[in-house]
């Protein structure tokens, strides 16, 4: 197994805690599922949220999924003009047997436009 990094992003309709947690939960579940990653293979998750999301920390979703042994960090995404609004991004560090070209990054909702080069 080797240390890998998997990227993902999603969007929410409104800056509400339940929406941020729900969307982030769905994103994490999809990232882990598509890449066959077990919780004990996770090392850390780094979340960013656009400046228009302040109702909740995206990392709350990870804790509610039971990822209590994983290092989590939240940060503000830089405010670039024209960027996808109400967007949560995550960078997951994990151990995997997959090679970089076998990893499946996940982009959901309006965040799909960030990586139109990736298959769904």
38 part of the active site: no
Helices (H) and strands (E) in the chain, counts: 2, 5
95 part of the active site: no
Q: What separation, in Å, do the N-terminal and C-terminal C-alpha atoms of the chain show?
A: 25
107 part of the active site: yes
Catalytic residue chosen out of the listed positions 4, 19, 41, 89: 89
Catalytic residue chosen out of the listed positions 7, 34, 98, 104: 7
14 part of the active site: no
4 part of the active site: no
Q: Phi and psi at residue 107, in whole multiples of 5°?
A: -130, 120
Catalytic residue chosen out of the listed positions 4, 41, 77, 94: 77
How far apart (Å, rounded) are the C-alpha atoms in residues 27 and 90? 9
How far apart (Å, rounded) are the C-alpha atoms in residues 106 and 90? 10
CB atoms within 10 A of CB 36: 11
Catalytic residue chosen out of the listed positions 38, 64, 97, 115: 115
63 part of the active site: yes
Q: Which residue has the tokens 């999809």?
A: 30
74 part of the active site: yes
Catalytic residue chosen out of the listed positions 2, 14, 63, 64: 63
Catalytic residue chosen out of the listed positions 19, 41, 87, 107: 107
Catalytic residue chosen out of the listed positions 30, 74, 98, 104: 74
Catalytic residues, which ones?
7, 63, 74, 77, 89, 107, 115
């Amino acid at each position: 197994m080797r240390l890998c990094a998997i990227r993902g992003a999603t969007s929410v309709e409104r800056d509400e805690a339940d929406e941020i947690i729900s969307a982030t939960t769905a994103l994490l579940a999809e990232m882990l599922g598509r890449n066959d990653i077990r919780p004990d293979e996770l090392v850390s998750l780094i979340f960013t949220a656009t400046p228009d999301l302040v109702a909740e920390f995206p990392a709350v979703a990870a804790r509610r999924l039971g990822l209590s042994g994983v290092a989590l960090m939240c940060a503000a995404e830089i405010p670039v003009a024209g960027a996808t609004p109400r967007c949560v991004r995550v960078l997951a560090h994990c151990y995997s047997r997959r090679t970089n070209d076998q990893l499946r990054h996940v982009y959901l909702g309006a965040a799909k436009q960030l990586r139109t080069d990736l298959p769904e």
